[in-house]
Structure 1
């Protein structure tokens, strides 16, 4: 049975919110198909970057979009019933989703959905996260349904983590294909994809963030000069294996972490460059002290209160990523 016009509109609105999910260089590698009363999520292989061998990071982005969808649809009064990797013959078919009515929409559902539109990746230096001791138990209670390990690195690990971050840059210093990729997605003009220049850090700002990917540096006035060095804390999301299911789950938990932090007034920035180079990934694993595979890291901190709100990074039009099949 085909979904009603009202349901289709609700799903489209939720997919617009899902499109706000973070992805590597804002490539937005997801493709949605609405077929009767079922929504399907696919990895768009045409948007997997050459440096992302196997598409692991693209799948993480799709996982974040899947969780954003679940959050948005819940605020609209619907449960998302998700079957992950439903087709063993098509690993790019990441999920099939059906919807059922919810009995009640809480303020929590609405606030989390609103956080989707407030969240952005903050690459500038940050102050330490405020009230972390009180917030961390709340965060862990919210993400316990996700089968991904969350670790918070101690301050004593920061120097080694910064070394690993620098090591990734050194190993790629002469990788022309990688640098061409960065320049391709660091967008100096209006676009619905990629990272706009105002979201990148200048040379002096970059020097004050010791754990971060190095992008082409724009020329603009220095921001947050009052923060002499980044003092964010770093959380690591890890899995026990390295399958496509693990990458999808890591993306779903990444979404949950980012939205909970946003609701608490904290700024965040996902980091994947430390898991792209094996030697750096090994260092992060060593810092964790467990036999796990780091999938994505997140800087969490506090931005100055009086600062102007950053403009939203643009996204692709919904009709570019959604196909609606006739019933």
Structure 2
């Protein structure tokens, strides 16, 4: 293979790492095709959640996150990425085409960022307040700038209002049988499946009661982990775009990846929330709280998990052979 083109093994390793990206209920709604010179990202409708994600917006957000993770993984392997979004007219499922250029030196920061992919996980338990927040807030704002995404932080005074909107969202969902059936299916304990949300990643009723802003999942077990944190003290970050065009949503998913990795590098835990942006009523409330004129796409809880907490078992992913096709 041409030295100016990554080898198949480099591509395979990078895609494997990139697929650690978060996705709605760990659905992993993506597939990759390598044609010998470029790597193509396609949406995989077989992993869409039509009851939860009516418009397919969250599917695109998930794919945006895996796209940015891919660039981080390739940078650590010594390759710069050149991304073309929605390259095929009339094929909205062809989300991106990525070309690569070799770099002479890989910086330590590139390697640290790739390592952060492996350390990041979704933490639904109550979190402590993040230290040195003003400094991190500035770093997060810089991280989303290349994607034309707005980052807002919910004021502590507005948190009760946001928590009420979260509860309202869940109340409205209780009468949606299609949504509830889909949620139960994606959280059922299928040990052999490499998608779904594992039971270990869900909360017991007593644990969930200490987190005021969260999606209501079926309760798991009767434990009381992290009992030292009686109330969630995370900061709530909102990512918004000007509109809901697919290209804007894809970029927001990329920005999500950048924010999560920045938080992980800072030693903090995160939990991405999309339940309130799935319904127009709660989405409007978020917009009022932030004072933004854009479209809220997702929220992120950012906080500190106790250092004595055992390391979370990595959530399973589909094998790379299921998500990557090598051609040429």
TM-score above 0.5: yes
Matches within 5 A, 1:147-296: 147-190=148-191, 191-296=193-298
Report what 1:116 is aligned to.
Answer: 117
Q: Distance in 2 between matches of 1:235 and 1:161?
A: 12
Distance 1:30 1:196, change over 3 A: same
Is 1:99 the counterpart of 2:100? The answer is yes
Q: Is the 8 A contact 1:2 1:37 kept in 2?
A: no
Provide the residue aligned with 2:88 in structure 1.
87
Runs of 4+ aligned structure 1 residues displaced above 2 Å come to 1-6, 138-144
Normalising by structure 2, what TM-score? 0.97
Aligned pair count reads: 326
Contact in 2 for aligned 1:63/1:252 (Cα 8 Å): yes
Contact 1:209 1:230 in 2 (8 A): yes
Cα deviation for residue 145 of structure 1 reads 1.5
User: Structure 1 unaligned runs (5+)?
Assistant: none
How far did 1:7 drift? 1.6
Partners in 1 of 2:142 and 2:28 — Cα distance? Answer: 29
Note if contact 1:234-1:298 (Cα within 8 Å) is conserved in structure 2. Answer: yes
| CA deviation map 1:101-120 (0-9, x unaligned) | 01321111000000000000
Instruction: Indicate whether 1:66 and 2:79 are aligned.
Output: no
- Structure 1 position 6, deviation (Å): 6.0
Kindly indicate whether residue 145 of structure 2 is the aligned counterpart of residue 144 of structure 1.
yes
**C-alpha contact (below 8 Å) 2:152/2:290 kept by paired residues:** yes
With over 3 angstroms needed to count, the CA separation of the structure-2 counterparts of 1:241 and 1:220, relative to structure 1, is same
**CA RMSD in angstroms, aligned pairs only:** 1.4
Gaps spanning 5+ residues in structure 2: where? none
**Partner Cα distance (2:158, 2:279) in 1:** 19
Does the 8 A contact of 1:205 with 1:222 survive in 2?
yes
CA distance in 1, matches of 2:275, 2:128: 22
In the alignment, what sits opposite 1:27? 27
What is the deviation of 1:53?
1.5
| Preserved CA contact (<8 Å) 1:2 1:36 | no
